[in-house]
Structure 1
Amino acid sequence: MSSEQSPGTVVATGTSIADAGEQAGREATSAARTALDADRVDFCQVFADAAFDPERVLAGVRAAVDEDTAVVGCTAAGTFTEERTMDRGVAVGVVTSDSFQFDTAIASGLGENIQGTVREAARSLPDDVDYPYQSALVLHDGLSGIGERLSLAIQRRLGPHVGFAGGAASDNFRMESTPVFCGETVAEDALVLVLVSGEDRAVISVDHGHEPISEPHEVTDVDGNLVREIDGEPAFEVWKDTVRDHVSETFGLDVDSSQVDAPQLQRLMGAYEFGIDQGDGYKIRWPRTAVGESGSLRFAVDIPEGTVLRVMHGSPESQIESAGRAASEAVELADGEIAGGFVYDCACREIILQDEYPAAVDALAEVFDTPFAGFETYGELCMQMGQLSGFHNTTTVVFVFPE
């Protein structure tokens, strides 16, 4: 599916907190289209709270755009635009442009064959385009647990010169269903690819606000994303020993008294994640759930044996500052005016920020001063030229269009 072209590069956003999914999708998209003030919509990305029926949301969105508009999206734990944040709502971003082209594809089967799913999606994208620069947007099922392998498979397929950004669909920490949307299709265990071709290169940036609070620990027993042992001890016990005092001082909670499947403990795991030293900074890894009977930790992504980890934490102030840094880097890289874009922000940051989460969105808005739509993910994708790793947690990823 390809979008047509229209004068200028303009981005607009809309939101809705209507109770019914179809109404929310239609209201948010209509508001965005009105703000766009253009004859057509080339591209539309929708982020819908997981409490809504995604098929009804998508029906409402499609009713408010053109028949040939490229539409993608996913379920979300929380949504936002430059104007508001929502615990339960729909956020939509729309683009019209004569300098960017949008081609979309969806494929299912991530759990069985990552490379095959990426290959199937990429086959639906054009081999040749009449623009000098390509980048991509990526959405995928947030419960797949294959973010790092997925980012590498996409890089191999699209090539090292195609940077990409995106996020893992989320569902308010229920860990039940995180589908993605493309065209008229809603699918789980699926991947959405958007090839963004342009006369200029879209701008991608990333930042996080975490610092280490522990000594290095080595992963000594692991199966995919299930880490059984760290330093030869049950992984869950190592995590608890490390965070116990910090959690007590910061949150006034006792990690030992929390049930393994309790929402409180799952949220603490989002506040105290692990970091991998990259030399010039840390890449964050989220221990999504604890497996109490075995003392294991199930991460949001595969963790190779021998990986050296540190437990990380970030204050609300550092999380707000990191959002502003991600926006500032994008502005610097753009080397000119920005039309607007999309933001993929980890749901774990909301755990840390709590009532201050809107301040992080405000930090983005103050730097950009242009429209953007985003959601709280179960992991962020950001792969740029020269990088060897593209999956992140508790991170802000920005994708914006130069004017």
Structure 2
Amino acid sequence: MDFCQVFVDSSYDPHEVLSGVETVVDDDTAVVGCTGTGNFTETETLANGIAVALVTSDSFRFDTAIATGLGENIHGTVREAARALPDDIDYPYQSALVLHDGLAGVGERLALAIQRRLGPHVGFAGGAASDNYQMESTPVFCDGTVAEDALVLVLVSGTQRAVISVDHGHEPISEPHAVTDGSGNVVRELDGEPAFEVWKNAVRDHVTAFDFDVDALSLESEEMNRLMGVYEFGIDQGNGFKIRWPKSIGQDGSLSFAVDVPEGTVLRVMYGGQESQIDSVRRVAEEAVALAEGDLAGGFIFDCACREIILQDEFSDAVDELASVLSVPFAGFETYGELCMQMGQLSGFHNTTTVAFLLPE
């Protein structure tokens, strides 16, 4: 085996899981992974399980590195990981897989730092480790090391180009609203009004389809949590929207997001129901098949934990949709945010989005 990627439900001890995997694979197999909210393969969706993908290839090589200190020094952590990778690889194409601590809250800045370090011609995909919404511990691991506040970087070099595709299932339902008061990942005001009140006003009539009264729900209720996943925010990118998940509501009416949302950012409230989420998963698979110059061998899927909130019992249907279109083995997990950066893009962190990284035969 050349490469092994492991996605572990956060109820398991990742050290023990990693030890078990290492007793099965060869000593020279590169092993990486992280904790996940839910894991899946092309044949099964696992509520509390472990998904393992093994790769043997004559046309690709996998070089791995891990570095810590992500929360305090993003660029330094990326630099440390990149320096541990070889620089004398004689393959025409390179791409990368990225896993990082999902509680670091640095997704967008991390994507830009990796792009600067690897260069604009190296596309990459990956996800933020997750822990079943506990928000307590989201470690990543690489070749025997398990670490929090860490980044795992896998340089994938090959005789062919890896295929990367991305899509989401949300559409705008509100007018644009500018962030007028905020810091870091906390947005206090939109257009001078409490951010949560602006969100409620936008969704109030729309949520009747769920038989919910948004004004009567408590901030911490399961119903409110679901609505915040269905009605997220979007940033207009010109050719589409990038989704931003408001993961919690403050008593002052502020919204805390999974990533920084600077003042001046223009947001629109979005809607993504179950049918549109499954449609977007199918588009990801269809785009990957179309981009491939030949047959695909298999790969990895990074899907947002918010999709599980939206799809609930239908989440397995979305995985089945992927499997039916791709017709190849894959493994994936539900993230706290997805990374996808391709040539020409200026932003690479996503929420409630499906990202596929697939290897051609």
TM-score (norm 2): 0.98
The residue aligned with 1:261 is: 220
| Distance in 2 between residues matched to 1:257 and 1:178, nearest whole Å | 33
Size of the aligned set, in residue pairs, is: 361
Rounded Cα–Cα distance in structure 1 between residues aligned with 2:150 and 2:222: 26
Match of 1:78 among 38, 48, 57: 38
1:271 alignment counterpart: 230
Secondary structure of 1:197 counterpart: strand
**Do the aligned partners of residues 237 and 157 (structure 1) sit closer, same or farther apart at CA in structure 2, a change above 3 Å counting?**
same
Distance across 1 between alignment mates of 2:63 and 2:107: 22
Q: CA deviation at 1:263?
A: 4.0
2:253 corresponds to: 295
Q: What is the percent sequence identity of the aligned residues?
A: 74
Q: Deviations over 1:102-144 (max 9, x none)?
A: 0111111111111111111111111120111110000011111
Task: Tell me the equivalent position of 1:341.
Answer: 299
For the 8 Å contact 2:112–2:348, the answer to whether it is kept is yes
Of 166-175 and 150-159, the range deviating more from structure 2: 166-175
1:217 maps onto 2:171 in alignment: no
**2:313 is aligned with what amino acid?**
D
SS in 2 for 1:97: coil
Provide the C-alpha distance between the structure 2 equivalents of 1:127 and 1:256, rounded to a whole number of angstroms. 57
- Secondary structure at the residue paired with 1:256? coil
Indicate conservation of the 8 Å contact 2:100/2:140, yes or no. Answer: yes
Q: Work out the CA distance in 2 between the residues paired with 1:101 and 1:377.
A: 25
Unaligned runs of 5+ in 2: none
CA-to-aligned-CA distance 1:269-291 (integer Å, 9 cap, x gap):
12211001111111101111112
Q: 2:59: which partner in 1?
A: 99
Give 1:2-401 correspondences, 5 Å limit: 41-247=1-207, 249-292=208-251, 294-401=252-359
Shift of 1:213: 1.1
The code of the aligned residue for 1:82 comes to E
Change (3 A) 1:128 1:396: same
Secondary structure, aligned partner of 1:269: helix
Assess if the C-alpha contact under 8 Å between 2:63 and 2:86 holds in 1: yes
How large is the RMSD of aligned CA atoms in angstroms? 1.1
1:25 corresponds in structure 2 to none
- Long gaps (5+) in structure 1: 1-40
Partner letter of residue 259 of structure 2? V
State the 1:265 CA deviation.
2.4
Q: What code does the residue aligned with 1:360 have?
A: A
